Amino acid sequence: MKFIRFNHVSFQYPEALDEIFALRDISFDIEQGEFLAIAGANSSGKTTLGRLCDALLLPTEGTVLVEGLDTKKEENVYPVRQKVGMIFQNPDNQIVSTTVEEEIAFGLENLQVPSIEINRRVNEIIHDMQLEEIRERPPHLLSGGQKQLLCIASVLAMKPACIVFDEPTSLLDPLNRKIVLSQIKKLHKQGMTIIYITHLMEELLLATRLFILKKGNIVFEGTPREAFNFSEETLYNYHLYPPKLIQIIETLKMSGIEIPKGIINTSELVNYLCQLK
């Protein structure tokens, strides 16, 4: 089932001085339950694309359909925002309330859910995400990872079918990044549609499909595995930093060892090298 459909979408920020489009004539479909990663340089249009999915921005030309609802129609804006949740880069700037449970309840309060139902759902989410210990805590006493998990929890409380993650791990340390990523992986397994915006090659591997954006155009569409076959030069051109693995493979190739295409992680590389012996 087509969950989100972009139909010849172009977008221009109204405050932009020149005639530059943030996105140019983009068309694609996202299936229910898909994990789509979006990569690209700064100001390539990644965030704009994410916000178009949530009706936070409306296309200048073309249409965005979420489960068949046109985001341009005013009466569809709030139903669309309920179907599609958003997680931003800086958790500090998206937490509204003074305690964890109030924060999870925030979206539900906006939807005018009765208080008994709010309590039931908040308890459920807190139990599912194991936040019992920090339930009453004010957000400034949480770690970065806990804050981002709280943001995910408060979006989940609204029961969306899709979540757009806009570089959610870029301000986190490696351990917290791992915690947040494993939560996202879990959500995808449970059938959530996920749109994941990132700069990091390693994170692309979680996805089933990958878009690379450049200056408002989709310049690559394929699987993340294919992206790992790009030469270092191509990656730099797409503003992606080659992970250690690709650097190692390149070095091995330079010293005359033949490495086949399609290797994406260390165990695959090690297996191949052992066979050579």
Partner 1 sequence: MQFKKSIAIGQYIPTGSFVHKLDVRFKMIFLIVFIVCIFFIHSIYGYLLFLGLLVLCILVSKIPLKYFLSALKPIIFLLTFTTILQLFFTSTGELLLDWWIFKVTIDGVYEAVFIFLRLILLVFASSTLTFTSTPMELTSSLEFILGPLKRVGFPVSEVSMMITIALRFVPTIMEETDRLMKAQSARGIDFDKGNLFQRIANLIPIIVPLFISALRRADELAIAMEARSFQVGVKRTHIHVLVFKKHDYIFIVTSLLFVILVCIYF
Give 149's contacts (C-beta < 8 A, 6+ positions apart): 129, 131, 179, 180, 183
Name which position in 113, 161, 179, 248 contacts partner 1 (CB under 8 A).
Answer: 113
- For partner 1, give the closer residue by CB, 102 or 226: 102
Q: Could you tell me if residue 252 is left (phi over 0), alpha (psi between -120 and 50 degrees) or otherwise beta?
A: alpha
Rg (CA), the chain: 20
Q: 76 near 67, Cβ under 8 Å?
A: no
- For partner 1, give the closer residue by CB, 8 or 120: 120
The token pair at 264 is 């994406």
Name which position in 88, 196, 211, 230 contacts partner 1 (CB under 8 A).
Answer: 88
Q: Quick check: 158 binds partner 1 (CB under 8 A)?
A: yes
Closest residue by Cα to residue 154 from 221, 210, 85, 236: 85
Q: 206 near 187, Cβ under 8 Å?
A: no
- For partner 1, give the closer residue by CB, 10 or 119: 119
- For partner 1, give the closer residue by CB, 33 or 138: 138
Name which position in 114, 191, 256, 260 contacts partner 1 (CB under 8 A).
Answer: 114
- For partner 1, give the closer residue by CB, 160 or 224: 160
Q: Quick check: 109 binds partner 1 (CB under 8 A)?
A: yes
Whole-angstrom distance, CA of residue 148 vs CA of residue 168: 7
Indicate the SS3 state at residue 46. Answer: helix
Terminal-residue alpha carbon distance, the chain: 48
- For partner 1, give the closer residue by CB, 81 or 177: 81
Q: 194 near 187, Cβ under 8 Å?
A: yes
CA atoms within 13 A on the CB side of 32: 9
Query: Which residues in the 116-145 window bind partner 1 by CB under 8 A?
Result: 118-119, 122, 138-140
Encoded one letter per residue, x for contact with partner 1 by CB under 8 A and - for no contact, window 45-84 reads ------x--x-x---------------------x--xx--
In angstroms, what is the minimal distance from the CB of 112 to partner 1? 5
Give the Cβ contact number of residue 136 at 10 Å. Answer: 10
Name which position in 37, 155, 172, 180 contacts partner 1 (CB under 8 A).
Answer: 155
Q: Quick check: 208 binds partner 1 (CB under 8 A)?
A: no
Footprint on this chain of partner 1 (rule: CB under 8 A):
51, 54, 56, 78, 81-82, 85-86, 88, 90, 92-99, 101-102, 105-115, 118-119, 122, 138-140, 154-155, 158
